[in-house]
Structure 1
């Protein structure tokens, strides 16, 4: 009964979110797309980085690959066929990158993942300037804001559903073992490389699709837009605030930070990047395991105190 109630609540919430853009004007729909885009990115990022504790800054690399897949192909192929093509490109790149780099750990992986995004951006810039002779490309796709929102909502649901399914199976146990101690997990029989590669590829494909889905919003795209490093940092901050190791953590991190960043970008555009860095530092120090973990710990302590008080009352009685 409890499980059925949870499923019903989740389905009802998804239905309300799906109907949300029908009540909004053009500006509201734009904000809704921005919000749902970061929900999809944060949930997809946490699919790999949450349980393994590998902090990846390669989010914008795959996001940009998705956007540029649409930019390159929209003149020749239907937009609805470009999306699976973009997913395949993201899968191919993630397999190559994963096989080459997932043996790295700690700060080395973080540095490489950040460098990957910059390398892809520079390669595309060189290609556009020296081969095509034009830095940017126009995107004309028959898709409106509401369709983009619904597709992003679908990606978010897929990311959360995959995380839920993985957590309940043997793969979830293997991933958590890797997150706790990778060496011990390997000695216990876990194929560490395969597990990390599988999750990294799943996460990367979803992030690539987010970039491909959002690309028509820009109409005109160039490397500095599609590969803006702020996208990676904001995704990490949002996921960490809510709790990347929790199923619903990224969603709870996106809600307050998206509203905060929208307000800051409008009121403090010149100091936005500095404030973003300060927020990042504050979250790491104040909520190292996320808000949901802090709430769960507080609830457990409260229950323990109640249990102790009940035992005392029983003894006194």
Structure 2
């Protein structure tokens, strides 16, 4: 399986886009509508009925809407150090993107890779994103579909990635691992351990503790590629764009999720005035994901555990803000 360093080089060779102008600082101003009223004028407002939903229900619905795990696996998150490569941008905007992604990762307790680290997050800007996506997936297919069980969302999702017309598109590869040892729990075709002539050496050997409720196998994100349509991302500010990128890098987000009823950076390309960056809701989601123990065996129980962790994070952030 080729590394993402190779993938980044392929991206450089696949496009000539000069995207720097689109990432310059922009100021977005909200139009203000005023109305002059006479001092003795009175305004009658119609009765308004407000129907609220419990926070737990809102969180459960949000998780169900945005979460996009690989296959039938549980939600994955990063555990290893993050190494970001930003391609097809000049040094200043590329460094701005990388620094912000690293900063969000640090807030979640993630380490930054060293100077000579191999990129596991590749962010590519292009004025021909469809061509770029087709080229990258054709030249380095194993970087997108490694072939192991529970590592990606399948051919249908990959076709949607290649044909997407979104301003930002992304592809995430995750890996089932033994939380006790860090050992891979899914075999990649063509790889083996020990004597490759022995059939049993092709599958990882995991010592499992018997339990019907809990599991020691957890899912970790190992690679993410993000493609920016340089013409479309010009519609938002640099901070909005980079925080949007951070959200899809650090969580498995469904590109087709409808988050319009939530205050989230994920809505920025539809309603750019609603959020200048990661919202409290976004931060609670990420913090809850990265603080959850992830010890529940079934997908439903695992999501409930993460939802409860998100609720605690939301409560903490709300009290801090107050």
TM over 0.5: no
Bigger helix share: 1
Q: Which structure is richer in relative contact order (CA contacts within 8 A, separation 6 or more)?
A: 1
| Structure having the larger proportion of residues in strand | 2
